[in-house]
């Protein structure tokens, strides 16, 4: 078994069950009442966190850090929920988590925070994160973080990671056609951007939550401010995609005819 130092990059996104209305503010594009919207952990980052915790559990001596960029007040609310899921140490970066932030600036802030973690062993380093984001879907942030940290072995859209026991990594990445690309890596350091993974959401564990919160609150108080935004970027327009519904009620239509109409509508 090998011990790993696993960094998970993940932040908050607005709860998708809320109505999101884009607006243009004095500082650039944003969401209406964004500060009041309830937040959840980004789904792809969540998969990365749960996979990291499982890997650490199965490799004694491993440790998990969650490096999160977002407003301190919103991060505190988020930690009340996810702290009960798995053990981790929080590294908070106080900055914007808006969907209109520049991925290069976000990658700079996250990589700087990772580089300053005391006691981090780069020979054991695995950097996890989501292959995309529910609000900032540039799809390039993890690659930029890897380049900033000088990590060349990068794997995107990962669904499964296994460790044979000799320090090497076996990785399954999604490719087109519902197939997987199987890769082998000699070991850490490496960057893995996760898709859905293989694990369910862990149940709440109050004991884990209490253990995490003892370190989370001081970490939030020490959060380093980061200037992350969209300065210099111009958006011609921002809007929620419009829903379109066409309904026609017909009785006793043959199945073949229904199928032909659906195909014709899709290809129109």
DSSP character at residue 88 = -
pLDDT over threshold 80, residue 206: yes
DSSP character at residue 264 = H
Range of the domain at 134: 5-225
Domain total for the chain?
A: 1
What ranges make up the beta strands (E) of the chain? 5-9, 12-14, 22-25, 28-31, 39-41, 63-70, 89-94, 125-130, 154-162, 169-175, 179-185, 190-194, 224-225
Q: Give me the torsion for CA of 75, 78, 83, 85, rounded to 10°.
A: -140
Region 206-215 average pLDDT? 92
Work out the burial of residue 253: count CB atoms within 10 Å of its CB; fewer than 13 is exposed, 13-18 middle, 19 or more buried.
exposed
In a domain, 197, yes or no: yes
> Which tens digits make up the pLDDT trace of 46-83?
999 999 999 999 989 999 999 999 888 888 988 988 99
pLDDT over threshold 90, residue 191: yes
Least confident of 18-22, 37-41, 48-52: 18-22
In a domain, 239, yes or no: no
In a domain, 221, yes or no: yes
How many angstroms separate the Cα of 196 from the Cα of each of 2, 9, 71, 172, 203?
A: 24, 15, 26, 12, 17
Among 191, 238, 200, CA closest to 8: 191
> Which tens digits make up the pLDDT trace of 95-115?
887 777 778 888 899 999 999
Q: What percent of the chain has pLDDT over 70?
A: 93
pLDDT given at position 247: 78
Handedness of CA 83, 86, 92, 95 (dihedral sign): negative
Q: pLDDT band at 199, cuts 50/70/90?
A: confident
In a domain, 176, yes or no: yes
In a domain, 103, yes or no: yes
pLDDT given at position 240: 67
> Which tens digits make up the pLDDT trace of 110-143?
999 999 999 999 999 999 998 888 776 677 889 9
pLDDT over threshold 90, residue 250: no
Least confident of 63-67, 178-182, 204-208, 226-230: 226-230
Q: Mark out the alpha helices in 60-186 (DSSP H runs).
A: 72-82, 103-115, 141-148
Handedness of CA 76, 80, 82, 88 (dihedral sign): positive
- Is the distance from CB of 201 to CB of 45 less than 8 angstroms? no
In a domain, 247, yes or no: no
In a domain, 166, yes or no: yes
Using the CB atoms, write b or e for 57-80: b if 16+ within 10 Å.
eebeebbbbbbbbbbeebbbebbe
How far does the chain reach from its first CA to its final CA, in angstroms?
56
In a domain, 236, yes or no: no
pLDDT over threshold 70, residue 241: no
Q: The whole model's pTM is what? A: 0.81
182: domain CATH number is 3.40.50.620
């Amino acid at each position: 078994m090998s011990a790993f130092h696993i960094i998970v990059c993940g932040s908050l996104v607005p709860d998708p069950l809320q109505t999101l209305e884009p607006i243009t503010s004095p500082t650039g594009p944003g969401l209406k009442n964004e500060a009041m919207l309830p937040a959840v952990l980004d789904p792809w980052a969540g998969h990365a966190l749960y996979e990291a915790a499982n890997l650490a559990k199965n490799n004694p001596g491993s440790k998990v850090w969650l490096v999160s960029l977002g407003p301190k007040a919103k991060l505190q609310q988020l930690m009340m929920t996810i702290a009960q899921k798995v053990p981790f140490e929080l590294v908070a970066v106080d900055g914007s988590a808006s969907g209109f932030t520049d991925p290069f600036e976000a990658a700079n802030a996250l990589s700087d925070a990772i580089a300053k973690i005391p006691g981090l062993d780069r020979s054991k380093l695995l950097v996890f994160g989501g292959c995309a984001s529910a609000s900032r879907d540039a799809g390039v942030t993890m690659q930029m973080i890897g380049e900033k940290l000088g990590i060349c072995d990068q794997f995107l859209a990962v669904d499964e990671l296994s460790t044979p026991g000799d320090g090497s990594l076996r990785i399954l990445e999604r490719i087109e056609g519902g197939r997987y690309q199987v890769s082998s890596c000699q070991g850490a350091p490496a960057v893995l951007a996760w898709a859905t993974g293989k694990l369910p959401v862990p149940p709440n564990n109050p004991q884990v939550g209490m253990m995490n919160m003892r370190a989370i609150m001081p970490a939030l108080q020490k959060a380093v401010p980061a200037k992350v935004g969209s300065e210099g970027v111009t958006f011609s327009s921002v809007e929620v995609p419009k829903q379109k519904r066409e309904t026609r009620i017909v009785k006793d239509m043959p199945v073949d005819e229904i199928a032909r109409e659906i195909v014709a509508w899709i290809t129109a």
